A and B are shown apart, each in its own frame.
Chain A
Amino acid sequence: MKKRIGSIIIAVSLSVCLLSACGAKQESSQGDAGRERGNTSLGASMETGDSVIVAMGPGSEPEAGFDPAYGWGAGEHVHEPLIQSTLTVTKADLSIGYDLATDMKVSEDGLTWTVTIRDDVKFSDGEPLTASDVAFTYNTVKEASSVNDFTMLKEAVAIDDTTVEFHMAQAYSIWPYTMAIVGIVPEHAYGADYGEHPIGSGRYLMKQWDKGQQIIFEANPDYYGEEIKMKRVTVVFMEEDAAFAAAKAGQVDLAYTAAAYSDQTIDGYTLLSYETVDNRGFNLPALPAGTDADGNLLGNDFTSDVQVRRAINIGLNRQEMLENVVNGYGTPAYSVCDKMPWYNDEAVVECDPARAAAILEEAGWKKAADGIREKNGVRAAFTLLYPASDSLRQALAADTQNQLKELGIQVTIEGVGWDTAYTRAQAEPLMWGWGAHSPMELYNIYHTLEGGLAGYSPYTNETVDKYMDQALAASDLDASYELWQKAQWDGETGITQEGDIPWIWLVNIDHLYWAREHLQVAEQKLHPHGHGWSIVNNVDQWKWQ
């Protein structure tokens, strides 16, 4: 009997060892970079003053390498591609500036964009960058990209060495935002292994890539732009707890972290917090329950009542949610695009649970004996889904559940995998994360598709559609901002509180980092969704003090 218990104890302790080994592996995975920094004192790193080690999550490592056609920069999470140049850039206020481009024009009908580019730019292999490289890049990403949508482009054509024309399949006024994320690749040196051996004209050269561990960038000596202050950038990939441990051990200069760690302190490090448009919110299906052509559930009898959606929107206390879930590191969210140039601040609402309860009463949702409201036999209840792997969204869902219970709405939360989440979100609210540096996200969420309903959650409003179609067809970017704003609220209808409110936006999550005290991180523009490469968008301008 003793032997048996002994063997069980051994088994348990072995499995514990096994688990901790996973953690240990990640710690050692930072490899050379970590050791190198570990050996040099802080003083030494300030003396040289031009290298930095940044820790990111394992998900940030580009699986397919540094090829824009396979998601580098222009993927699910957008960022500046560092190795390659882009035609345009997004400025601190998210308006458009120029990188390679010197001028851009769009025809009256919006179907032809003419962009002139600098003539003094060379790829890192010494070849000049011409308009034919630009045309080649765009035609390639159009053909190959599986992670970003380029269907609005028909063809890119080089007119001469410094002029490129984009022929569009349909008017697309926000094309400059797409041009800000597509890195220009060299036609002469592009092949199947480009992702692993990228050649570009951007600020950095990719020197070394140890897969699963680290990527080392060195400054491009021939870079045409502003002087690069940070000559060497090492990016290491590790889980949150390993990144925290690495910062504690002084092995990295900047480590991403989560709000759960914000009550910790690390000697010699400060906690940096950057505002974002990295929002979280949930959809409320705006159709009554039914099924779609494939027999999947579509719509929801409770959330299809617009008064219910309005009550939920003003019934939620976003500030309290921020304190509860992210220790206050975030801002209340009222739209998918807070603070962007195309954002309509009519979306802002005051938290007013009393008014919310009154709206529900007026709409006929009366409290039953158990405290949950009912109307014509329909219970004021829904299941709020969240991605099972995301503890932050789980906590947001749980807090929503607690807050809505006060209003007499019963919420059940359930963790699901992404394999079923998209389908189930057609009938049940799901906790989403969005936030992009392009108004196209508004279109993707609220504009109807061919079937007559919006893609991620059933909803339709002809006026909203019309404004967004007009915005895309506008010939002037500034004019299009106003149309995007009108799509959100034009004074009569829209997607805000007084409109249809088919999505409830809760919070924008601050992106948090542990940074060595003497590291001066350059000013950040509002980070988009994805706690990854955005922080190093301007790493060339970081300094050691």
Chain B
Amino acid sequence: MRTHVLNGRVRTALWFSLAVLFLALITILGLVFAREAVVTDFSRKNLPPSSACIFGTDWMGRDMFVRTLAGLSMSIRIGLLAAGVSALLALLLGILSATMGKAVDSAVTWVIDLVMGIPHILLLILISYACGKGFRGVVIGVTLTHWTSLARVIRGEVLQLKEAPYIKVAGKLGLRPWQIAWKHMVPHLFPQFLVGLILLFPHAILHEASITFLGFGLSPEQPAIGVILSESMQYLAMGKWWLAVFPGLLLVLTVALFDVAGESLRKLLDPGSAHA
């Protein structure tokens, strides 16, 4: 280890920044190309990858590179919203559950069990259907189904904290429960919260991809990664491999990068676990 110029911490930080930079790039490029992504040009349909269209084109002559970028960009944006709301919800419910007494605790754990008890993709479909499908349905569905496991972790963490001497002392000194929660617990929970938030991303993105793949989400002219992949299925038998391969690879890359970012952040915020 000592032979390395950079120590482990710096390298981890580098990995983290690289991953975040790359994801930000995809998101921004997707937004920039949002208009091009829906342009059809029948004079260039079914072209294999070339220097002009590096991911090739589909049966309506849409450039698969910009389409994939726009799709992933939307996935990341939906993921951002879903992960953010889910993490906040998890923090709130986790703390409530652990500090507000038995009745609230059992109510919250019951809701967690209920949500986790229904197969995830099924719940997603039900919620997005009930919310009128489309973009709104997908966002609400993905947002409302990803908070449970993080809420559990935070609840456990708070239960443990409650027994810590400094929390007990704070109570004896007359601080109210919400003051204890805000002043003493939240700072302690913050690393957990942040890492949990980032690690929610891959799930949210894959679920967004699956639900649009299954056709419960966006209408087919929209550039969503699931729509792209499900369309490509029809053309695989005709040898149009590029329609599935490149978008698929880029989806895997995106998900893996979020994982890299989350894990690096965890190591940085919680160095003890790096050696566990």
Contacts and interface: CB of A to CB of B under 8 A. Distances in A.
Partners in one complex: yes
Interface of A: 1, 4-5, 8-9, 11-12, 15-16, 19, 23, 240-241, 244-245, 260-261, 263-264, 323-325, 388-389, 391, 394-395, 398-399, 401-402, 413-417
Interface stretch (B96-104, B181-189, B253-261): B253-261
Contacts of B206: 11-12
Interface stretch (B108-116, B154-162, B234-242): B234-242
Interface residues of B, number: 31
B221 A398 contact: yes
Interface of B: 40-42, 45-46, 59-60, 133, 202, 206, 210, 215, 219-221, 231, 233-239, 248, 251-252, 255-256, 259-260, 263
A50 to B, nearest CB: 31
B42 A15 contact: no
Query: What does DSSP make chain A's interface, helix, strand, loop or mixed?
Result: helix
B34 to A, nearest CB: 14
8 contacts: A8-B256, A241-B233, A261-B237, A264-B238, A394-B60, A398-B221, A402-B41, A415-B221
B254 to A, nearest CB: 11
A391 B40 CA distance: 13
Query: What does DSSP make chain B's interface, helix, strand, loop or mixed?
Result: helix
Closest 3 pairs between A and B when the two form their complex, measured CB to CB:
A415-B219, A324-B42, A241-B237
A363 to B, nearest CB: 28
Residue in B42, B235, B256, B260 whose Cβ sees the most chain A Cβ within 10 Å: B42
Contacts of A260: 59, 234-235, 238
B219 A398 contact: no
Contacts of A391: 59, 220, 231, 234
Nearest to A394: B220
Given A5-B259, A241-B234, A402-B40, A414 B219 contact: yes
Contact of A399 (B40, B202, B215, B220): B40
Given A19-B233, A241-B237, A413 B263 contact: no
Residue in B210, B239, B252 whose Cβ sees the most chain A Cβ within 10 Å: B252
A268 to B, nearest CB: 18
Contacts of A8: 202, 252, 255-256, 259
B259 A398 contact: no
Given A1-B259, A394-B220, A394-B221, A12 B237 contact: no
A365 B252 CA distance: 49
Nearest to A392: B59
B227 to A, nearest CB: 9
Contact of A324 (B45, B251, B259): B45
Nearest to A402: B40
Given A261-B238, A388-B215, A391-B220, A4 B42 contact: no
A398 B234 CA distance: 19
A389 B202 contact: no
A413 B235 CA distance: 22
A416 B219 contact: yes
Nearest to B233: A19
Contact of B256 (A5, A261, A263, A389): A5
Contact of B42 (A240, A264, A325): A325
Given A1-B259, A244-B237, A244-B238, 10 more contacts: A9-B252, A241-B234, A260-B235, A260-B238, A261-B238, A388-B215, A391-B220, A394-B220, A402-B41, A414-B219
Contacts of B133: 417
B54 to A, nearest CB: 22
Given A389-B215, A399-B42, A1 B263 contact: yes
A398 B40 contact: yes
